Chain A
Amino acid sequence: MVSRQFDLVILGWGAAAFSAAIKASELTSGGATIAMIGKGPIGGTCVNVGCVPSKYLLEASHLAFNPRHPRMPGVGAVGPKVDFGKVMDGLRAYVDHARSAKYEEVIRNYPNVTLIEGLGSFLDERTVKVEGPSGGEVSGSQVIIATGSAPTVPKIDGLKEAGYLTSDTLWNLNELPHRVAIIGGGAIGLEMGQALLHFGAEVTVVEALDSLLPQGEPEIGEALKKRLEGEGMRIHLRARVSSAGKSRDGKYVEVITHAGRHRFTVDEIIVSTGRRPNTGTLNLEVAHVKTDERGLIITDRAMRTSSPGIYAAGDCVSKTLFLETLAAREGVVAVSNMFGQEAEIDHGSATWAVFTYPQVAGVGLTEKEFSRKNGSCSFRTLSLANLTKASLMGETDGLVKITVDPKDNKIVGMHIFSPSATDIIIEGAYAVRHGYTVEDIIATSHVFPSLSEGVKLAAQSFIRDVSKMSCCVE
């Protein structure tokens, strides 16, 4: 079979693939011929079933919840009329709009990029077979693997028969399930759980580990748990779902906790126990591309795989943070190196977030990670009760934690639990990336009163007790 020849073949058409295709097009002024092979809706996870619909649902849910729970004296509770079906119609319409505006229309401006629908697998290091409507073989002088990941579903007795949703299918809901079990209390489970809770569902989260968000600071996992439980979420830690099934009035879930085994009834089960890379059917062996024990592709910091001329980017890569932002950056790094421009991925200053309300965001090392590596560290935790803006808003549950290298006071990690944490964390990203010290933060003007001032107070708490400090002290 004659294969179609391209300068660059990209497996996948999600965030990593798009950023790689656009970077290669820009570098060559549209001269590079690029094949982008993909399956399912264009744009991949983020726009279709990931960041975009989840953040839409969360925003809508907070609008429904917060007016019912005012936090300032004299402001009465009101219950906005919520039509969940219409919210979901709005969500799907927004996803369609975002996919069209940010992906379909964008790629039309790049006539050098050919979209080929189907699943690709390697025939050799440079040739890919495509199983799809147009089928055939495609060859590239260079190749990028950007096939992303998919939700995993644990083997639980009766779960399949009972039926369940994942982050791939939740967005098709039209009616609010009134009682929901969430298996897996990671970022995705907590976001979906709080969204449904805020719309009025009873939500129970079952998590195998002994804390929420163990990749972050334990104080934040603890504070978030308290907040969610305060809102009515039931959270079982160190717990395991042993079986599930259909019951007379819905579905049952059987959970084993330290207190024993118990059953509860729900209308819907949501599985959010993690994701696995879409690498199993790529036939990576013939291309000599090595993976780790989880099937994630091993790359260096230039995104080169073990096979010369083959790069990888995005959620299929062996790393610890799986984010749209990193996928996009890795696509750019891969292409830059392919064209001889040296670039390296910097996972150390990557920001991550959980879009609950209040939000969680982090960058750099936690206190424990730094101590483990260096034997000692210095950190301060600022309770938002000490921050004027937060306390006047009635939002004092949160905190800002800064970890510094005691040798030079340079900030090595920042973790925030606060409204707008996803915006404030950028200050931490600059600090970690550029090696700013706590003195740099203190000397930089912050608006008073603002939530971002929490970062400055956390920095000041390295030099004085801020709980006894006037808000005018610099």
Chain B
Amino acid sequence: MTTKNVELRVFGMTCDDCARTVAQGLRSRKGVEEAVVDVRTGTAEVTIEDSAVTPEDLLRVPIFGERSHYKALVKRAG
């Protein structure tokens, strides 16, 4: 199993609770090994299982859905 580190730029976070919510949202996606979210830098460092999830798939987790307050784009795809 190969893993990859992806950095996301996350918008819409204002407090540590937001960061926790986003991290949980990311971890709920199959293939996400770890997600560390920093509200100050507005970034998420995500470790993904290469064969199970692509960096773009991370943008489609419900936490970044159309109605959600949080939005993300890929800053570094590994």
Contacts and interface: CB of A to CB of B under 8 A. Distances in A.
A230 interface: no
Interface string A331-348: 000000011111000000
B59 interface: yes
A141 B9 contact: yes
A341 B77 CA distance: 18
Contacts of A339: 59, 64, 71-73
15 contacts: A7-B9, A28-B71, A31-B11, A31-B42, A31-B71, A32-B9, A32-B11, A32-B73, A142-B74, A308-B77, A309-B77, A339-B71, A339-B73, A340-B64, A340-B73
Contacts of B58: 340
Interface in A26-46: 27-29, 31-32
Given A340-B58, A341-B66, 7 more contacts: A7-B9, A7-B73, A27-B11, A31-B42, A32-B73, A141-B76, A340-B56
Interface string A136-154: 0000011000000000000
Among B9, B12, B77, the one with the most A-chain Cβ atoms within 10 Å of its Cβ is: B9
Given A339-B64, A340-B56, A341-B66, A28 B12 contact: yes
Contact of B72 (A308, A309, A340): A340
Interface string A1-45: 000000110000000000000000001110110000000000000
B54 to A, nearest CB: 10
Instruction: Name the residue in A27, A338, A340 with the highest tally of chain B Cβ atoms < 10 Å from its Cβ.
Output: A340
Contacts of B72: 339-340
- Of B60, B72, B75, B77, the most chain A CB neighbours within 10 A belong to B75
B62 to A, nearest CB: 11
A27 B12 CA distance: 9
Interface in B23-78: 42, 56, 58-60, 64, 66, 71-77
B74 A28 contact: no
A27 B60 CA distance: 14
Interface in B1-22: 9, 11-12
B9 A340 contact: no
A318 to B, nearest CB: 22
A127 B62 CA distance: 31
Contacts of A340: 56, 58-60, 64, 72-73
Contact of B73 (A29, A338, A342): A338
Given A31-B42, A340-B60, A142 B12 contact: no
Interface string A300-330: 0000000011000000000000000000000
A141 B75 contact: yes
A247 to B, nearest CB: 59
A236 to B, nearest CB: 53
Nearest to A341: B66
A28 B9 CA distance: 11
A339 B12 CA distance: 13
B7 to A, nearest CB: 9
